[in-house]
Structure 1
């Protein structure tokens, strides 16, 4: 069987995406009931290559492998020959001889694709400058846990057309919901990603009108990693785009608020928004563990009956 990679949500079929969300919920429920007794990965190793810093990604992947009975190996540029200029393909071929699966958090999506093309073991995108698909598995899992099927519902993205926005666009395609993207002019997502989504995705400029009747509202920091020198300009350009309790009041009565974290209170969200009961960001963060367990299991073992 050909090696499966997970570089964007579109590497799965829509049916496989829905399976992973339901499987993640099942894994989470089993962990609550029985503890970490399901250990399918004894003596299996996940290599974790980090070129960007991380809290949730490292802890969730490392814990996932530990609870599954396997081992996670942390590799930073200081720890590998990648940091000294070894070709990406060479590193990929070497690690494929030693580990069972690889997770990469990096800058260049093209570099990730180059790595995966040379790898004989599954490669997971744990964030690039263009996409963050693991976060979207956890986000849709959270939405589904709390509200049932997301098909036909409406989500609103408020903020930069960044890697998270791109993955929300792909999620709208995979899970068949409507996505309104509300951003200032000049901060739109990549046009080709937008075009591929067709009429599932629309662009808006006024946040208050964009959230009218929405089932879910989500955002991200205005300046992502590597954009810190743009902070002042982005703060000015995103004035009026802060998500607040008053904004959520314009959405559906059972609206949920998500944020991939870390959040900058007082910037992209109001100081107190994360204390609002409509904000479910802690459950969302915790679901990274369960969604990624389901993903690793799928890539290594295929479908497993719940």
Structure 2
């Protein structure tokens, strides 16, 4: 009995070795969990500058990490994700103070700071669009044809730009869209209040750069206080001045001056009263 029981015990064990070995190989070669979905966030067209491609990479890194949109996120002392705030106009923002993330301009600020190594675009969407570091501007009527990855797309009006996103190419953009969602890749929305785009130049600034003072100071479409309003500076802002001219005399905040400066990034005029410096700015040519 003993001589016949040995083979009966070993035969089934030998038979099991093959399927067990196959299972082990299968488990070893198979992923432990499903692969993360490809967000599609990357540079999707050629022609962008190296800095612009780095900005896209930095934004996409946050998209791929499933970072939250948070209202006010990304506007700390330094670029980077921060806890958000409750937006009084949006009930979906109730959890934003608990979430580390970015709002639309916070993401753009972070992406370009990583790309350039300095805090180039510290501000809200309108301040970023009207940056004095603009290498080019594109209207809504021009569509996507002239755009390159890294360009900034904006929505709203000249008086109030309320949303900004980073173009990827191929009709796609990376954006922090709204409370209750993660950072995402979206199709560019050309309808509605799409305003246009700006191309950022991380290099030296072409032209004379000054700083404004005061809050709520309007630029005008002509050098006159009665002219149409273009954009109001929410606070002290760095601006590029193209030229200046003598025009309407303005008295405001204890100063009187007839000098007006043309701001090419805004396509608008501003009284020199609210530009830090002498009444007639030094080294700025007179407008032709």
- Shorter-chain TM-score range: under 0.3
Query: Relative CO higher for 1 or 2, CA cutoff 8 Å, sep ≥ 6?
Result: 1
TM-score by length of 2: 0.24
Which has the higher Rg, Structure 1 or Structure 2? Answer: 2
TM-score by length of 1: 0.23
